[in-house]
């Protein structure tokens, strides 16, 4: 490709002395010197027009190539910026997920006059992992105990805990619990059961438990509340419902995710009868023991 723009070229004076030899090549009996000069001028115009066409085509191709490169660079930059935004948004979402309290909006609500229903850190940790958690932590007594928890002191303490894979790890002491102070589900009163079940359902939703799991617990605890034994005059029958609840809910947590998984929604009357017989036998044994001591 020529280096200079043919659009700027000026046709030479072919009648000048510089082109004498060229004119002589065209001069003959029918073509004189002036005609030869005009012929050379015409030939130059034709060639210059071709040169201009090639030049303009090349310049347009170069311009298009430059535009394509610029578009490609802009698209690459936009993609890099998009990925960066996605990574930042994902990092922020993960940060918000891990530290919900840090990013929770501040409501325009005054300090409450009564207690705040926030369970102990141990219970919160269990709920976040979807693990079994005793109802006691959601009773009035359990919440009152949690309300007296001093986070500024306990969060600094660490305790050695054996994890699910058998390894020992250091975790905040606030995430552990002295099991001896917790009332077992089967030993709760029905009033405490009512307090706790409603609150635990709300806590499950707050910690993003799957809807089918929450609905199953609602059906499970409702079935216990409306069961005929709930209004029985025989104490062991009422207690059998609580024992069944405790045993089967723990078993459900152990079985879920395995081939032995099941639903709690529908009560198993046969298993419930065994729980009743177990309590009735304990009552008889206790009475006999009391008689022996008289």
Looking at residue 98, what is its pLDDT? 83
Tens-place pLDDT, residues 169-224? 666 655 555 555 799 999 999 999 999 999 999 999 999 999 999 999 999 999 99
HEC sequence for the chain? CCCCCHHHCCCCCCCCHHHHHHHHHHCCCCCCHHHHHHHHHHHHHHHHHHHHHHHHHHHHHHHHHHHHHHHHHHHHHHHHHHHHHHHHHHHHHHHHHHCHHHHCCCCCCCCCCCCCCCCCHHHHHHHHHCCCCCHHHHCHHHHHHHHCCCHHHHCCCEEEEECCCCCEEEEEHHHCCCHHHCCCHHHCCHHHHHHHHHHHHHHHHHCCCCHHHHHHHHHHHHHHHHCHHHHCCCHHHHHHHHHHHHHHHHHHHHHCCCCCCCCCCCCCHHHHHHHHHHHHHHHHHHHHHHHHHC
Cut 0.85: pTM above it: no
Tens-place pLDDT, residues 245-283? 999 999 999 999 999 999 999 999 999 999 999 998 888
């Amino acid at each position: 490709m020529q280096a200079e723009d043919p659009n700027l070229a000026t046709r030479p004076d072919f009648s000048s002395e510089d082109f004498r030899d060229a004119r002589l090549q065209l001069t003959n009996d029918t073509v004189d010197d002036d005609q030869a000069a005009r012929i050379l001028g015409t030939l130059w115009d034709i060639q210059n027009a071709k040169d201009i066409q090639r030049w303009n085509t090349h310049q347009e191709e170069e311009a298009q190539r430059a535009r394509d490169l610029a578009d490609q660079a802009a698209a690459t930059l936009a993609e890099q910026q998009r990925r960066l935004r996605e990574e930042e948004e994902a990092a922020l979402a993960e940060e918000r997920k891990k530290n919900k309290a840090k990013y929770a909006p501040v409501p325009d609500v005054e300090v409450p006059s009564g207690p705040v229903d926030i369970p102990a850190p141990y219970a919160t940790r269990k709920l976040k992992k979807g693990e079994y958690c005793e109802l006691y932590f959601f009773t009035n007594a359990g919440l009152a105990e949690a309300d007296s928890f001093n986070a500024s002191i306990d969060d600094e303490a660490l305790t050695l805990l054996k994890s699910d894979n058998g390894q020992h790890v250091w975790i905040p002491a606030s995430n552990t619990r002295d099991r001896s102070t917790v009332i077992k589900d089967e030993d709760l009163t029905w009033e405490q059961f009512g307090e706790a079940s409603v609150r635990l359902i709300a806590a499950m939703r707050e910690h993003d438990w799957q809807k089918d799991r929450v609905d199953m617990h609602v059906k499970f605890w409702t079935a216990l509340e409306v069961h005929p034994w709930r209004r029985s005059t025989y104490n062991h029958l009422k207690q059998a419902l609580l024992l069944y609840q405790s045993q089967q809910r723990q078993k459900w947590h152990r079985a879920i995710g395995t081939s032995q998984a099941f639903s709690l929604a529908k009560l198993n009357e046969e298993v419930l009868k065994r729980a009743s017989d177990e309590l009735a036998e304990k009552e008889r044994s206790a009475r006999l023991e009391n008689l022996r001591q008289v």
